[in-house]
Structure 1
Amino acid sequence: MRTRLLLLLLCFIGLLTSCQREKETRVTDFVDPFIGTAGQGHCFPGATVPFGGIQLSPDNPRSGWEWCSGYHYSDSIISSFSHSHLSGTGIGDLQDIRLLPVTTRPQVGEKAIDFITKGYAKFSHANETAEPGYYSVTFDNGIKTELTVTSRCGMHSYQYPTNSVYGLTLDLTTARNWDRTVMTSIKKINNRTIQGYRKSTGWAKEHNVYFFMEFSQDVDVWAGNDTLKLLKNGQKLVSNQGYAFIDFGTTTNKVLVKVSLSSANCEGAAANLDKELSHWSFDKVKREAKQRWKRILSRIKAEGASKEETRVFYTALYHAYLAPYLFSDAHGNYKGPDGEIHSVGKANQYTVFSLWDTFRAAHPLFTITQKNRVNDMIKSFIRHYEAHGLLPNWELMGNESHCMIGNHAIPIITEAYLKGIRNFDVEKAYEAMKETSLSQGNGLGLFRTYNYIPCDLEKESVSKTLEYAYDDWCMAQMAKALNKEDDYLYFMEASKNYKNVFDSSTGFMRAKLSDGNWKTPFSPFASAHRDDDYTEGNAWQYSWFVPHDVEGLIALHGGKTAFANKLDSLFTLPSTIEGDNVSPDISGLIGQYAQGNEPSHHVVYLFNYTDTPYKTQYYVDKIRRELYTDRPDGLCGNEDCGQMSAWYVFSAMGFYPMNPSDGKYQLGTPMFKKVTIKLGQDRKFVIKANRENDQYIYVKEVLLNGDKLDRTWITHDEIMDGGELEFVLTPENPSKIKE
């Protein structure tokens, strides 16, 4: 009896311990996918897995700036659940293979598009749920939809009101924002399977999506481009527009649908289902998706902040791990930028590379927590180069969009190599880097000829000059590491070209004509949307982009004191911006500093190069508190495929990669009492801070593995070697800054 009681006690203790451990490690509970779905965040709330190829999420019937991701929290109507979405971009595209459960059947002779739009359903956020890998909503008409995913497949669960029509619409035509359908196909394979494609043009000029769809029971399929007609097994509809109604009959009011996509062909989409989703257990897929998120988010354990701050942190980490997307199908096939089908075998090809944004913090975050994926991403760059002739600029679904400026695949490759991430063809990568650097397009030829880009010969001349100069510095570091001395000297000299657009009389980077004279008139406050001298910014915001030579930039300003005074002005000047075509990206303003747009993201850390590093600490805390919240409008600007959130992740931990390729992280002020970064089975890097309350933001001293640090930065190697970084904080403001 005593033995039995002891065993029961031990079992109870074990169960209790297990429950406590599970509760402690459920980081997914702190993720709210609705953060960033209102305001200008442009996030989607639907189901996806880390870096997954499917983003299964609801769409609203509207288009425009607020609806770039297909969904905006201000809306109350859902027009479809589609399988591809962009996370926080400033341009809308995708939203492919649109399904919507309905409770009506089409009338004889009724136009297909009229029937489709008639089914658009009202809903309330009170009946909507989202968590990592799962989304659910119950419409006002009583239909409940649940969505979950694998890497390449989406799974839908629909529960209809009893005694209603159990139907589903398929819309391959309706386009939002920039996208326009050019050709569709729907083929009924058998009573439970259809396949087809949607080909469109838009931001992605040649976007091909092949789908394979299975139903949990027999169905009738009515398809057409004008009116809907019954489709028999083996029949196919091909048209420039395609719609369908799937009738589930009256067998059961709960129906499951499995969908997979491929950019190559329907066979690849079918293979995805065979490989990843051969069963019909919705709960199993949902559980495994959440487990994948738990594993990847748990690599960083943050402790000792409020629930709201922790929620913002882990949602930011979640957003940082959405893109790039897996692009190759289960056969290893994908459509390349040359329009041809390529194969990677068992490797992975990625897409959606918003490099102008993500080279700054998202990719540096990957070098700490996603080293294997960094190799896969660089291999994806190289394959893009082999098919296209240049490294990707803004790659979207096998297309080069040429959307943004700079050649920022170069710093990403350089950063990876210098950090010891080298499981790729290094010589081929360098060949691609050099070929891209010495190409002539997008003002690069002018940059090589004039050693700056003349504004009368090329738009966005100032920002392009600055960003090409930084890329050339990264080229020089890669050349030096590979013992290519002549290249090193050439690109190092070219990296100084930023000085040629600095006007010492105004203290700003400024547009210069081809005759060497400054463009007039000049206002540092003027801001046009990417058709003037600066890309999504003005002179106040772009004049600081010299992350590779901050000492040189300080010298141009006349020394540390003058430089610090200029930085002060950036944050304290009025927030108004001039210009008839002001970019909506210029948001999250503190003075002229714009956290809502990427060129500003490193600027707050420039105080570390002066005698006032406490101002970095002050403003980092101010940005975190005021411009990031756990509400749907909790992002002050576009999420931009993870960059906006990666800034927060780093800055909340207490350091930031101001120049990602120099191997250093500038110190700020940590938000948590303790952060543990898991680097491997036996290594971890721990950041500790005596953050007694929200006033403890100023750094009194920093200890690295017990030794006092006499610098404002730490190295990548110091992090990856494991150890402890301790911040001794104080609430005392050294200069008593007032907001």
Structure 2
Amino acid sequence: MNRFLTLLAGALCSAAMAAGPGQYVDPFIGTSNFGATHPGAQYPHGLASVSPFNVAFGQPELNPFEKDDAWNSRVYIHENQFLTGFSHLNLSGVGCPEAGVMLLMPTRGELNLNPEEYGSTYSGERASPGYYSARLDKYDIQAEVTSTLRTGLSRFTFPAGQSHILLNLGLGLTNETGGSLEIVSEREIQGMRNIGTFCYHSENVRPVYFVARFSRAADDFGAWKKMPRYRNVEADWVGFNDKIKPYAGYRHPLSGDDIGAWFSFDTQKDEQIQVQLGISFTSIENARANLNAEQRGFDFASVRQSAVDAWDMLLGRAEIEGTRQQKTMFYTALYHSLLHPNIIQDVNGDYPLMGQHGTGNTKENRYSVYSLWDTHRNVHPLLSLLYPDIQTQMVRSAVAMAKESGWLPKWELYGMETQVMVGDPGTAMIADSYLRGIRDFDVDAAYEAMLRAASQTENNLLRPEIEEYLNLGYVPVDDEGPYDGSVATSLEYYVADYNIAQLAKALGKEEDYQTFSRRANNYRKLYDPATGMLRPKNRNGQWLSPFDPELGRNFEPAPGYIEGNAWNYRFYVPHDTPGLIQLSGGDEAFVEQLDATFDTGNFDMTNEPDITYPFLYNFVEGQAWRTTQRVHQLIDQYFGTGPDGLPGNDDTGTLSAWLAFSMMGLYPVTPGNTDYALFTPLLDSVTLHLNTQYYPGSRLVINKADTGSTEQHSDISFNERKLMRPFLDHKALVKGGEITFK
């Protein structure tokens, strides 16, 4: 097929695939401004993804952001222009470098194994759910990629001449090194690559296994190894040998920190060569089984269509009316909310056990990548509402992790607990899910794990400060490190304890309900009436002094707080906002203080503890209109349809879930309290298709009736009955019907 027909066929295929809501998704949103998303091809909640990798090498004018730059946790940055391959295991919206490994790179001409030299600029990028393509300018090669749950598929269209496909196991975003490979035949290679040391936790390292298969046999092949550093014993100095040593025709296992393999082809004009790559966290054999099960033959169009269908099915749970720009923002936000957590089990059910060596087996999906400090706030409530079947299995996975390791996950990554951030968010996620009606899991085992984290005073993985928290009612500031955050930690513990109390009440455990309710209200011990802040306190009960409530505004260490300042945490008592209002001096004073947070620039749209603040006006009678005003203002200021369309790190979908909820006009303010705050939606109308296996209603309609009035507040009705307060409980909402804002 000549190039014109190839492009025509691709255009027709794209048009045929554009019928569903996936047509509005723009995977480039969030690839700038430190959003840390990637534009690669990924199946919903897929383990594998195939993304362009452009954060290593190149001239500064081509790649101003390198992978080792501060806060660079991305395999792709929109401003960069020098690509060195397509990685097959990637994370979206995380704050530390990880994964971004197993890079395929097509080249042509004389064989070159140095990525600083074989990399290329690129042009004509296109991306949509399950698909990415670009032209590699240096080689005039068209690269296209798609994926299944556990495998990637690349299709490279070459000019005539000597062409190559390189598999680089040395490059990666991860801080870990080491891998091995073995060329099985002229069209197959297998091996592994280490990943880990996420956020510099060096004890967390795992191998990820792969098998790659080519659509035609190579005319020539080999492996390479970058020579290791060497030592001159007599002179006692260490040097580096930058020489890359090729091993032509090599068929034995090869290991090292910087290794790779090449497959060379004498291609005809516009010849297409496809590469399948299957991955597994348990074994090479399972990686091959995953590949055999999910890709039978080399059918790029079919694999891509399967991904499109899967995305359209999930995105279609929400039908919206609005402008083209609004549809792009909403469906891309929903798309980003459905990337993580991702499945980790193989097609035969094998998965790596949590917190230990060995392999488990499951008959259902086993999920991984739980960035729970972020996602318990809105991603999991969004899944509970629209995808309760998926959320059920995510809760089951989290409970299974507790059975295997003894602890619920905090920030779990590929079966490793990274212990990133503070608090006990797994407790809040599971309790909130149960209270929303997600109950098909071992709640007794979950509750037991919650109690262990809330009471064990020695070697407590989730709550290391628990002993003093129990004795004092708060975590003291005395011995905290630069990123421990005694106030932040205490506030997260209060939220977790509140969730235990609510779950205990639902389970008929009255004594536990009373105990944990009292513990959750200890936040009052940290409230300083002189400053109106939740302020660090010493063991002796004295306030930390001197005290600067703006310290930490630029992410510098601030005693008492994590990734923020005292303003960011000033109202972070989601479980008792009415009580905080009274402490703050009543309704009028509370609104003034809330306004001041925004007006002084101390609201941080990228800081999870304060992203509920725009909705707190709903707790003050007659002030709900301010919620609408603030939310619409923030969307206009921080979100958009360009690569910088996210205000910062998406945190595995958290900022995206905030946007999706906010555009619909409802938001889950409090984990463990199933009320949604209601406010005028940005969209003209929303229809949510509910899962009738979980909920009594089949659909919920949200309508914005425009009467032409200039009033800044709305009357809200549910099923033609006016609501007396701007909240609606989840249990009422999922009975279905219509919410109308007038």
| From 633, 639, 650, the counterpart of 1:622 | 633
Matching residue's letter, 1:687? I
- Separation (CA, whole Å) in 1 of partners of 2:671 and 2:592: 26
What's the CA shift for 1:267? 0.9
Greater shift in the superposed pair: 542-551 or 332-341:
332-341
- Separation (CA, whole Å) in 1 of partners of 2:71 and 2:474: 36
Match status 1:451 vs 2:473: yes
- Separation (CA, whole Å) in 2 of partners of 1:256 and 1:148: 11
TM-score, scaled relative to structure 2: 0.88
Match of 2:428? 411
Match of 1:47? 41
Match status 1:121 vs 2:120: yes
- Separation (CA, whole Å) in 2 of partners of 1:25 and 1:705: 32
What's the CA shift for 1:105? 4.1
| From 157, 160, 168, the counterpart of 1:159 | 157
- Separation (CA, whole Å) in 1 of partners of 2:109 and 2:660: 47
Q: Do the aligned partners of residues 173 and 531 (structure 1) sit closer, same or farther apart at CA in structure 2, a change above 3 Å counting?
A: farther
What's the CA shift for 1:25? 5.4
What's the CA shift for 1:357? 0.6
Q: Are the aligned partners of 2:160 and 2:267 in contact in 1 as well (CA < 8 Å)?
A: no
Pairs within 5 Å for 1:291-302: 291-302=309-320
Match of 2:731? 717
Match of 2:450? 433
What's the CA shift for 1:346? 2.3
Q: What does the per-residue CA deviation read over 1:565-617, in whole Å, with 9 as the maximum and x for residues that have no partner?
A: 111111111xxxxxxxxxxxxxxxxx211112211111111111113111111
Pairs within 5 Å for 1:690-701: 690-691=705-706, 698-701=712-715
- Separation (CA, whole Å) in 1 of partners of 2:328 and 2:711: 20
Match of 2:24? 30
Q: What does the per-residue CA deviation read over 1:543-575, in whole Å, with 9 as the maximum and x for residues that have no partner?
A: 1111101111111112111111111111111xx
What's the CA shift for 1:251? 6.4
The percent of aligned pairs where both chains have the same amino acid is 34
- Separation (CA, whole Å) in 2 of partners of 1:697 and 1:719: 26
Q: Are the aligned partners of 2:410 and 2:419 in contact in 1 as well (CA < 8 Å)?
A: yes
Q: Are the aligned partners of 1:96 and 1:209 in contact in 2 as well (CA < 8 Å)?
A: no
Q: Do the aligned partners of residues 702 and 626 (structure 1) sit closer, same or farther apart at CA in structure 2, a change above 3 Å counting?
A: same
- Separation (CA, whole Å) in 2 of partners of 1:679 and 1:460: 40
Q: Are the aligned partners of 1:128 and 1:136 in contact in 2 as well (CA < 8 Å)?
A: yes
Q: What does the per-residue CA deviation read over 1:39-59, in whole Å, with 9 as the maximum and x for residues that have no partner?
A: 121110000011111121011
Q: Are the aligned partners of 1:47 and 1:132 in contact in 2 as well (CA < 8 Å)?
A: yes
- Separation (CA, whole Å) in 2 of partners of 1:696 and 1:310: 25
Match status 1:212 vs 2:211: yes
What's the CA shift for 1:539? 0.6
Matching residue's letter, 1:686? V
Pairs within 5 Å for 1:244-643: 244-250=261-267, 253-303=271-321, 305-439=322-456, 440=460, 441-458=463-480, 459-527=484-552, 528-529=555-556, 532-573=559-600, 591-611=601-621, 612-643=623-654
TM-score, scaled relative to structure 1: 0.89
Match status 1:239 vs 2:280: no
Q: Do the aligned partners of residues 69 and 515 (structure 1) sit closer, same or farther apart at CA in structure 2, a change above 3 Å counting?
A: same
Match of 2:187? 192
Greater shift in the superposed pair: 353-362 or 212-221:
212-221
Q: What does the per-residue CA deviation read over 1:14-40, in whole Å, with 9 as the maximum and x for residues that have no partner?
A: xxxxxxx99995211111000110112
What's the CA shift for 1:542? 0.5
Matching residue's letter, 2:719? N
Q: Are the aligned partners of 1:597 and 1:637 in contact in 2 as well (CA < 8 Å)?
A: no
What's the CA shift for 1:529? 4.0
- Separation (CA, whole Å) in 1 of partners of 2:121 and 2:485: 43
Q: Are the aligned partners of 1:59 and 1:82 in contact in 2 as well (CA < 8 Å)?
A: yes
- Separation (CA, whole Å) in 1 of partners of 2:389 and 2:30: 28
Matched residue SS, 1:666:
strand
Pairs within 5 Å for 1:667-682: 667-680=678-691
- Separation (CA, whole Å) in 1 of partners of 2:40 and 2:364: 27
Match status 1:688 vs 2:713: no
Greater shift in the superposed pair: 224-233 or 308-317:
224-233
Match of 2:101? 96
Matching residue's letter, 2:223? A
Match status 1:726 vs 2:711: no
What's the CA shift for 1:180? 2.2
**Count of aligned pairs between the two proteins:** 678
- Separation (CA, whole Å) in 2 of partners of 1:566 and 1:460: 23
The root-mean-square deviation of aligned C-alpha atoms, in Å, is 2.0
- Separation (CA, whole Å) in 1 of partners of 2:710 and 2:376: 31
- Separation (CA, whole Å) in 2 of partners of 1:254 and 1:58: 19
Unaligned runs of 5+ in 1: 1-20, 574-590, 729-739
- Separation (CA, whole Å) in 2 of partners of 1:397 and 1:136: 28
Q: What does the per-residue CA deviation read over 1:392-415, in whole Å, with 9 as the maximum and x for residues that have no partner?
A: 110111111111111111111111
Q: Are the aligned partners of 1:65 and 1:91 in contact in 2 as well (CA < 8 Å)?
A: no
Matching residue's letter, 2:212? M
Matching residue's letter, 2:32? A
Match of 1:180? 176
Matched residue SS, 2:79:
coil
Q: Do the aligned partners of residues 95 and 23 (structure 1) sit closer, same or farther apart at CA in structure 2, a change above 3 Å counting?
A: closer
Q: Do the aligned partners of residues 481 and 621 (structure 1) sit closer, same or farther apart at CA in structure 2, a change above 3 Å counting?
A: same
- Separation (CA, whole Å) in 1 of partners of 2:29 and 2:257: 37
Matching residue's letter, 2:333? A
Match of 1:586? none
Q: Are the aligned partners of 2:498 and 2:672 in contact in 1 as well (CA < 8 Å)?
A: no
Matched residue SS, 1:180:
coil
Q: Do the aligned partners of residues 697 and 296 (structure 1) sit closer, same or farther apart at CA in structure 2, a change above 3 Å counting?
A: farther
What's the CA shift for 1:474? 0.2
Greater shift in the superposed pair: 638-647 or 558-567:
558-567
Q: What does the per-residue CA deviation read over 1:176-223, in whole Å, with 9 as the maximum and x for residues that have no partner?
A: 3x5121x31111222221110012332072121100111001123311
Unaligned runs of 5+ in 2: 1-14, 57-65, 227-244
Matched residue SS, 1:255:
strand
Matching residue's letter, 1:448? L
Q: Are the aligned partners of 1:50 and 1:322 in contact in 2 as well (CA < 8 Å)?
A: yes
